[in-house]
């Protein structure tokens, strides 16, 4: 009955939404009125819509995107879909808060340096990591280092220390590789083996005086030139035990056994990689690394101008059918008339580099869509993975 309907003003008052917001959500097909007066255009709402309006108001307050609000209000009761949308938004908020805290920690350091006397030497953060772990991390990211002279910051490896983790990052804008190594701060009396020799390559600098101990949970970063990163990897060889590193004051020091390498970090701000590696895949495909390599090597490809600097690259097509079966096909392959098939074109050589010959057993391939980045993860090292941008196929 019309007498049971609420006017737009009454619904605004009872729900906490403004009249203009209710008009907007009507136009956005999120909360349509039960009746619109054909002569005046005035909106009327059913009694049961008050609960939706109140829920909508709260979803707005926590910044839920419009598409997600629509998904929550349109979810089938009891399906759990609405709760999944809200939980995913909470995860994004928590990730953003963690990023903000870390950035503010670095900002405080920069402010302290700016306000200190010019004669004050910025602090170094000294910590140790397992030699084997650092070697594996360098091997895992080296292939993704950029070589574009117009983007010199990408010609290095980011060493990003965040509390108890050292994260190595490399990217050339077409792919990004990450690897994590557990880190432990160095106390004043427990410096690693004293350096008996200092390697002096073109990037090396004179030894710096000992720095104070790092805080219990430091946050520091440095972009290590690729030549220095390669020299560190060569020095590591098959070393075991712990490696001592020091980041700060524009330099990087690495002590392995009785040898020490040091050099200047690149004086550039590295792009914020963290939002780029938070993926929401539609499909997770587990398969042996050798099986994926064999499929890629034998796949029929097409040469397209989608490589770095506009160069041609060999493109393969990754497909997932409606039953979740994965395959590598030619880019021009027919989808067999299925609307459910997922088709993602990739630079075949880039994907092969992300799956080295000695890659351990099982991989996890994460696919989101034809224009969504895809990820390659190893089962035994969840913090070490690669993300590749898909290739747009010609229409």
Is 43 part of any domain?
yes
Instruction: Kindly tell me the burial class for residue 386, based on how many C-beta atoms sit within 10 Å of its own C-beta (0-12, 13-18, 19 or more).
Output: buried
Q: Are residues 257 and 299 in the same domain?
A: no
Per-residue pLDDT tens over the stretch 277-291: 888 788 888 888 888
Q: Are residues 236 and 303 in the same domain?
A: no
Give the residue-averaged pLDDT of 354-374.
82
Compute CA distances 92 → 162, 221, 278, whole Å: 19, 23, 9
Give the residue-averaged pLDDT of 20-42.
90
Rounded Cα–Cα distance for residues 152 and 98 (Å): 28
Q: Are residues 140 and 248 in the same domain?
A: yes
Do 221 and 169 meet the contact criterion of CB atoms below 8 Å apart?
no
Is 110 part of any domain?
no
Match 């590789």 to its residue by tokens: 177
Is 288 part of any domain?
yes
The closest alpha carbon to 64, from 32, 25, 14, belongs to 25
209, 232, 264 - which closes a domain: 264
The confidence score (pLDDT) of residue 8 equals 92
The confidence score (pLDDT) of residue 233 equals 94
Binned at pLDDT 50, 70 and 90, residue 138 comes out as very high
Q: Are residues 245 and 299 in the same domain?
A: no
The confidence score (pLDDT) of residue 180 equals 94
Q: Are residues 214 and 342 in the same domain?
A: no
Q: Are residues 253 and 296 in the same domain?
A: no
236, 264, 292 - which closes a domain: 264
Structural domains in the chain (count)? 3
Q: Are residues 259 and 359 in the same domain?
A: no
Binned at pLDDT 50, 70 and 90, residue 230 comes out as very high
Rounded Cα–Cα distance for residues 265 and 228 (Å): 9
Structural domain span for residue 136 = 121-264
Match 């993602």 to its residue by tokens: 344
Share the mean pLDDT of the chain: 82
Provide the CATH number for the domain around residue 311. Answer: 3.10.150.10
The confidence score (pLDDT) of residue 91 equals 85
Q: Are residues 170 and 40 in the same domain?
A: no
Is 360 part of any domain?
yes
What is the CB-side half-sphere exposure of residue 371 using CA atoms within 13 A? 3
Q: Are residues 229 and 312 in the same domain?
A: no
Would you say residue 204 has pLDDT above 90? no
The sign of the torsion formed by the CA atoms of 296, 297, 300, 303 equals positive
Q: Are residues 313 and 350 in the same domain?
A: yes
Q: Are residues 252 and 147 in the same domain?
A: yes
Binned at pLDDT 50, 70 and 90, residue 324 comes out as confident
Provide the CATH number for the domain around residue 45. Answer: 1.10.1660.10
Q: Are residues 256 and 337 in the same domain?
A: no
Q: What is the pTM of this model?
A: 0.67
Is 304 part of any domain?
yes
Per-residue pLDDT tens over the stretch 69-125: 999 998 888 888 899 989 988 888 888 887 777 777 767 766 766 665 544 445 678
Is 236 part of any domain?
yes
Is 106 part of any domain?
no
The confidence score (pLDDT) of residue 195 equals 46
Do 233 and 243 meet the contact criterion of CB atoms below 8 Å apart?
no
DSSP category for residue 235: H
19, 40, 74 - which closes a domain: 74
Is 10 part of any domain?
yes
Compute CA distances 232 → 78, 91, 157, 214, whole Å: 55, 36, 12, 22
Q: 300-317 b/e with 16+ CB inside 10 Å = b?
A: ebbebebbeeeeebbbbb
């Amino acid at each position: 009955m019309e007498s049971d309907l609420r006017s737009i003003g009454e619904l605004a008052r009872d729900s906490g939404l403004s009249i203009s917001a209710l008009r907007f959500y009507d136009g956005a097909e999120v909360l349509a009125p039960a009746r619109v007066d054909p002569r005046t255009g005035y909106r009327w709402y059913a009694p049961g819509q008050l609960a939706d309006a109140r829920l909508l108001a709260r979803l707005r307050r926590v910044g839920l995107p419009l598409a997600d609000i629509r998904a929550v209000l349109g979810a089938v009761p009891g399906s759990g879909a609405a709760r999944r949308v809200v939980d995913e938004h909470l995860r994004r908020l928590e990730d953003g808060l963690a990023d903000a805290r870390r950035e503010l920690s670095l900002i405080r350091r920069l402010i302290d340096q700016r306000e200190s006397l010019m004669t004050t030497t910025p602090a170094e953060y000294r910590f140790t990591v397992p030699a084997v772990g650092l070697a594996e991390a360098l091997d895992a990211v080296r292939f993704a280092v950029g070589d574009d002279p117009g983007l010199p910051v990408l010609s290095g490896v980011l060493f990003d220390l965040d509390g108890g983790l050292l994260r190595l990052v490399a990217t050339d804008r077409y792919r990004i590789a990450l690897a994590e190594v557990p880190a432990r701060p160095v106390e004043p009396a427990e410096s690693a083996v004293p350096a008996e020799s200092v390697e002096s390559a073109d990037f090396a600098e004179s030894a710096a005086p000992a720095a104070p101990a790092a805080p219990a949970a430091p946050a520091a970063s440095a972009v290590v030139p690729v030549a220095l990163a390669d020299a560190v990897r060569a020095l590591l060889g098959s070393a075991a035990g712990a490696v001592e590193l020091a980041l700060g004051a524009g330099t990087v020091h690495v002590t392995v056994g009785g040898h020490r390498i040091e050099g200047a970090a690149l004086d550039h701000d590295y792009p914020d990689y963290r939002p780029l590696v938070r993926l929401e895949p539609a499909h997770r495909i587990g398969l042996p690394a050798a099986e994926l390599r064999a499929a890629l090597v034998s796949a029929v490809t097409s040469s397209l101008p989608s490589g770095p600097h506009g160069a041609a690259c060999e493109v393969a097509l990754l497909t997932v059918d409606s039953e979740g079966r994965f395959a590598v096909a030619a880019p021009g392959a027919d989808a067999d008339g299925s609307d459910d098939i997922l088709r993602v074109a990739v630079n075949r050589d880039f994907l092969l580099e992300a799956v080295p010959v000695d890659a351990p057993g099982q991989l996890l391939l994460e696919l989101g869509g034809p224009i969504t980045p895809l990820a390659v993860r190893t089962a035994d090292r969840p913090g070490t993975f690669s993300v590749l941008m898909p290739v747009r196929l010609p229409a």
